[in-house]
Structure 1
Amino acid sequence: MSRPGEQMAAVQPAPAHPDVGAPTALAIEISNLKKGFGLKPVLRNVQLMLSRGQRMALLGANGAGKTTLLRILTGLSKAGSGTVRVYGLDSHYELQEIRRLVGFVAHQPYLYEELTVLENLLFFGKLYGVTHVRERATVLLQRVGMERRANDRIRALSRGQVQRVAWARALLHEPRLLLLDEPDTGLDQHGNDLVESLLAEHTERGGSMLFTTHNLERAIAWSDQIVILAGGRVTYQHESATLSLEELQRRYREVTR
């Protein structure tokens, strides 16, 4: 069976996570983060903080470093230097614990194509130590509208259907932090409405969220904070509630050109 992704394979079975991490009001704390590939710097002294229960939109042009930043937070990529903490846990020493607190949705669905929808969720549920995993998987498949395809193999699904299953996989272990790399990829309007509803439920439960998008209007609607990354640096940050779409468009053009 081929591996769908490093993050999933690296997580070890564990019971439901306790309230781990040093006491902190922060879901994410990034300090002096640097990352490069060969001689090319991708992230340069990134400073970023996300409070618990808050939602942050991470904007930027292609190649700005957004996906690299998310991959570091999920443990799929290592930081070059600097400090990354998730709920008080240091990514250098407590990566396994961090992975149990994070749900990740990206372009790659991190699912096994040769397994059925339900088999995938049972596999990942057991990997994360989810109790009553079959019941939890069934509830989530109903929630994302995929219960009728539970016994179909992933490879038989459309791109939008695969993305729905990826959402169910990310939510299986009730993560405290959602990391979303363009979470509406491949979804129609009904799918986008579903994502918005899932995010609202996550926030109502006290969950935190960091997501990327190229849709500036959606960025404002779904977030409490807007951050723009350009040239590997945080170049702009503002509260969403006091930011108009026109102002964001203007600022985005200024800092990304």
Structure 2
Amino acid sequence: MSRPGEHIAAVQSAPVHPDVAAPTALAIEISNLKKSYGLKPVLRTIQLNLPQGQRMALLGANGAGKTTLLRILAGLSKAGSGTVCVHGLDSRYALQEIRQQVGFVAHQPYLYEELTVLENLLFFGKLYAVEHARERASVLLQRVGMERRAKDRIRALSRGQVQRVAWARALLHEPRLLLLDEPDTGLDQHGNDLVESLLVEHTARGGSMLFTTHNLDRALAWSDQIVILAGGRVVYQHESANLPLAELQQRYREVTQ
């Protein structure tokens, strides 16, 4: 039987071969994922990998399974079978740790209507053990243009304003992975510009993201990879670089009809 430390020492002393590329770290690793609601299959044997630092656009018609997939990755819904890993953490055993890694923006803002904007952020700051949560919340509210509404209750805000606060909530704990379900919902052009700048800042820090949108032009502009779901399956995957919009539009029509 080996003594404690022998294996570590052996690994540390192993020769390094510079001509052998190190494996790419994955932000998302999905294998044979299936999910059904009752007798209705929603996801059927999904295989999907997202390298760290990359951006993936998830496209598909309504009911294709996009939101279900995001909810599973965010730890809000359980997989029926298969494996889902986020930054090497298996969702079957490390769900709470995964939630610490993920920021989720969806149609539902996940905010408490009876609390003020600031109270919501402080609540989530405590939930995620964010250091100096009040200072962090103030910085984010200024960043999303909501610092003047900090003392207003969520129920008093417009849909677009609520979405801005939802972005502050999602970024509060500095997540490594952003999961975005139509992140521009309810936003005007200024809000869309804000979202785009927030995404640029996130990826510049080495963050990854998976997002859904019905805007194919925006999907190309914001992503490194395009994935299309249809009938709960991945039916198309392509790198975004040098993919013409007209070709994406044609393939989208072909696979989603």
* 1:116-160 alpha-carbon deviations (Å, 9 max, x no partner): 000000000111000000000000000000000000000000000
Structure 2 residue matching 1:242: 3-state secondary structure: coil
User: Which residue of structure 1 aligns with residue 152 of structure 2?
Assistant: 152
Distance (Å, rounded) in 2 between the aligned partners of 1:162 and 1:77:
23
User: Which residue of structure 1 aligns with residue 112 of structure 2?
Assistant: 112
Structure 2 residue matching 1:33: 3-state secondary structure: strand
Distance (Å, rounded) in 2 between the aligned partners of 1:24 and 1:199:
22
User: Which residue of structure 1 aligns with residue 233 of structure 2?
Assistant: 233
Distance (Å, rounded) in 1 between the aligned partners of 2:238 and 2:120:
39
Contact 1:24 1:87 in 2 (8 A): no
User: Which residue of structure 2 aligns with residue 221 of structure 1?
Assistant: 221
Distance (Å, rounded) in 1 between the aligned partners of 2:172 and 2:158:
21
Distance (Å, rounded) in 1 between the aligned partners of 2:153 and 2:38:
39
Q: Tell me, which stretches of 5 or more residues in structure 2 are unaligned?
A: 1-22
User: Which residue of structure 2 aligns with residue 65 of structure 1?
Assistant: 65
| Count of matched residue positions in the alignment of Structure 1 and Structure 2 | 235
Q: Tell me, which stretches of 5 or more residues in structure 1 are unaligned?
A: 1-22
* 1:20-48 alpha-carbon deviations (Å, 9 max, x no partner): xxx96000000000000111100000000
The aligned runs of 1:30-45 (5 Å cut-off) are 30-45=30-45
* 1:209-238 alpha-carbon deviations (Å, 9 max, x no partner): 000000000000000000000010000000
Distance (Å, rounded) in 2 between the aligned partners of 1:91 and 1:244:
36
User: Which residue of structure 2 aligns with residue 14 of structure 1?
Assistant: none
Distance (Å, rounded) in 1 between the aligned partners of 2:91 and 2:244:
35
Distance 1:88 1:24, change over 3 A: farther
Matched letter for residue 181 of structure 2: D
Distance 1:24 1:96, change over 3 A: farther
Q: Does 1:89 align with 2:89?
A: yes
Distance (Å, rounded) in 2 between the aligned partners of 1:241 and 1:156:
42
Q: Does 1:52 align with 2:52?
A: yes
Matched letter for residue 62 of structure 2: N
The aligned runs of 1:152-171 (5 Å cut-off) are 152-171=152-171
Structure 1 residue matching 2:236: 3-state secondary structure: strand
Distance (Å, rounded) in 1 between the aligned partners of 2:68 and 2:49:
17
Structure 2 residue matching 1:58: 3-state secondary structure: strand
Task: Measure how far apart 1:242 and its partner are.
Answer: 1.7
Matched letter for residue 28 of structure 1: I
Matched letter for residue 139 of structure 2: V
Task: Measure how far apart 1:114 and its partner are.
Answer: 0.4
The ranges of structure 1 where at least 4 consecutive aligned residues each deviate by more than 4 angstroms after the TM superposition are none
Contact 1:24 1:88 in 2 (8 A): no
Percent identity of paired positions between Structure 1 and Structure 2:
88
Structure 1 residue matching 2:48: 3-state secondary structure: strand
Greater Rg by CA: 2
Distance (Å, rounded) in 1 between the aligned partners of 2:132 and 2:45:
43
Task: Measure how far apart 1:192 and its partner are.
Answer: 0.1
User: Which residue of structure 2 aligns with residue 20 of structure 1?
Assistant: none
Distance (Å, rounded) in 2 between the aligned partners of 1:37 and 1:145:
39
Distance (Å, rounded) in 1 between the aligned partners of 2:24 and 2:236:
25
Distance (Å, rounded) in 1 between the aligned partners of 2:58 and 2:227:
5
Distance (Å, rounded) in 2 between the aligned partners of 1:121 and 1:201:
20
User: Which residue of structure 2 aligns with residue 77 of structure 1?
Assistant: 77
Q: RMSD over aligned Cα, in angstroms?
A: 0.8
Distance (Å, rounded) in 1 between the aligned partners of 2:85 and 2:254:
30
